[in-house]
């Protein structure tokens, strides 16, 4: 697989990364650990370099899984993880925190669980409104100088916050949601990232499965599946949002590709510094996703997809109200 460069600090990664959250939470029962270790190593064999995890996934389980799986190939992969949540004594997430002492403790815990001497890309998972972003960036800068971190990233941050952080410590990548299903970053985020030389790592590039073509109006989301709690996937909203999938399907059929491949190829065509991280835990779905890197959409294809996306008014918020409030814009 070809590589792309995130930011101006020279972080080279595969065109597509792998989002690892679903191996520990959010999409139903947790798969067997050994099965996921085999899966992660198969992804490396297929050319995936960038692996995305976080201390809150599990919590903690996902970093341990990724660390164990990638230990034999640690020198050949890029591991991204995140800090920014507070936990109680039982490991339950209780809010956000980016106090310098909490960042340092989180990094030490992540290094231990990931079984590595340095984190390649460290994201602030959510902006903490109670801590000046300059203090956050300054703390990460110190961790970079100490050799514990190589690159600084942010997630779900607004343009003003990004600029302030970047002035203290160059930001290598921003991670936020972006897809044919959710194009808000195009208004302000993408122009600012281009100006500042910051890479973009879209999560949920397949709209949490909607853009795979596998979700229908009759789909039932089981226990432990986050989509059962998301306004976008409530029955009426889902029915309306599937109109976008139908329009993308026209392009997919013409190009003899899957809906998901078209959606990922569209993202790759937007900017050369965009690196989507679709999440999956099935080998056949991974192979399908990676196939999108070989799908070159024509200007006519892209225009049709843009028209399709503009013509469908997406129904439902991204998150329930409490989670929506954590997004910094």
Dihedral of CA 280/282/283/284: which sign?
negative
| pLDDT confidence of residue 216 | 96
Quote the mean pLDDT of the chain. 97
- Chain segment 273-306, per-residue pLDDT in tens: 999 999 999 999 999 999 999 999 999 999 999 9
Report field, pTM of the whole predicted structure over 0.75: yes
- Please identify which of the residues 57, 123, 178, 319 carries the catalytic annotation: 57
DSSP H helices in the chain: 33-45, 61-70, 100-114, 133-145, 159-168, 189-196, 235-254, 259-270, 283-290, 299-311, 321-324
Instruction: Please tell me the distance from the alpha carbon of residue 88 to that of residue 69, in angstroms, as a whole number.
Output: 27
What average pLDDT does range 78-92 have in this prediction? Answer: 96
Instruction: Please tell me the distance from the alpha carbon of residue 136 to that of residue 223, in angstroms, as a whole number.
Output: 36
Q: Could you give the domains of the chain?
A: 3-208+269-295 (3.20.20.100)
pLDDT > 90? residue 183: yes
User: Which residues lie below 8 Å from residue 264, measured CB to CB, with a gap of 6+?
Assistant: 16, 205, 206, 276, 278, 289, 292, 293
Question: Would you place residue 78 in the very low, low, confident or very high pLDDT band (cuts 50, 70, 90)?
Answer: very high
CA atoms lying within 13 Å on the CB side of residue 268: 26
Q: Are 27 and 57 in contact (CB under 8 A)?
A: no
158, two tokens: 């607004």
What average pLDDT does range 199-208 have in this prediction? Answer: 98
- Chain segment 259-277, per-residue pLDDT in tens: 999 999 999 999 999 999 9
Q: Examine the residue annotation and report whether 57 is marked as an active-site residue of this protein.
A: yes
Residue 34's CB is within 10 A of a number of other CB atoms, namely 10
pLDDT > 90? residue 157: yes
Instruction: Please tell me the distance from the alpha carbon of residue 196 to that of residue 154, in angstroms, as a whole number.
Output: 14
Burial of 75 (0-12, 13-18, 19+ CB in 10 A): exposed
Dihedral of CA 302/308/312/316: which sign?
negative
- Chain segment 205-246, per-residue pLDDT in tens: 999 999 999 999 999 999 999 999 999 999 999 999 999 999
What average pLDDT does range 168-197 have in this prediction? Answer: 98
Question: Would you place residue 329 in the very low, low, confident or very high pLDDT band (cuts 50, 70, 90)?
Answer: confident
Strands 78-83 and 119-124: parallel
Backbone angles phi, psi at 64, to 5 degrees: -65, -45
Instruction: Please tell me the distance from the alpha carbon of residue 305 to that of residue 307, in angstroms, as a whole number.
Output: 5
């Amino acid at each position: 697989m070809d590589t792309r460069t995130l930011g101006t600090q020279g972080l080279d990664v595969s065109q597509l990364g792998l989002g690892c959250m679903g191996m520990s939470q959010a999409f139903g029962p947790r798969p067997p650990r050994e099965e996921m270790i085999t899966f992660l190593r198969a992804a490396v064999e297929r050319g995936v370099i960038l692996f995305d995890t976080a201390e809150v996934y599990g919590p903690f389980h996902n970093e341990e899984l990724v660390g164990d799986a990638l230990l034999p190939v640690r020198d050949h992969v890029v591991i991204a993880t995140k800090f920014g949540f507070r936990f109680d004594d039982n490991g339950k997430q209780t809010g956000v925190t980016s106090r310098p002492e909490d960042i340092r403790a989180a990094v030490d815990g992540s290094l231990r669980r990931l079984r590595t001497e340095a984190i390649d890309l460290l994201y602030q998972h959510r902006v903490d409104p109670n801590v000046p972003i300059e203090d956050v960036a300054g703390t990460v800068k110190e961790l970079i100088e100490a050799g514990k971190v190589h690159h600084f990233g942010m997630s779900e941050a607004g343009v003003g916050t990004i600029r302030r952080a970047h002035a203290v410590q160059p930001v290598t990548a921003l991670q936020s949601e972006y897809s044919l299903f959710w194009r808000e970053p195009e208004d302000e985020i993408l122009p600012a990232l281009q100006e500042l030389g910051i890479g973009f790592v879209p999560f949920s590039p397949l709209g949490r499965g909607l853009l795979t073509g596998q979700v229908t109006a009759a789909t039932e989301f089981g226990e432990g599946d986050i989509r059962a709690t998301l306004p976008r996937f409530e029955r009426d909203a889902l029915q309306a949002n599937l109109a976008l999938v139908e329009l993308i399907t026209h392009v997919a059929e013409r190009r003899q590709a899957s809906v998901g491949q078209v959606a990922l190829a569209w993202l790759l065509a937007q900017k050369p510094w965009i690196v989507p991280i679709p999440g999956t835990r099935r080998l056949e779905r991974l192979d399908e996703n990676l196939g999108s890197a070989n799908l070159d959409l024509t200007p006519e294809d892209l225009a049709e997809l843009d028209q399709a996306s503009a013509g469908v008014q997406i129904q439902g918020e991204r998150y329930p109200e409490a989670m929506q409030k954590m997004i910094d814009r």
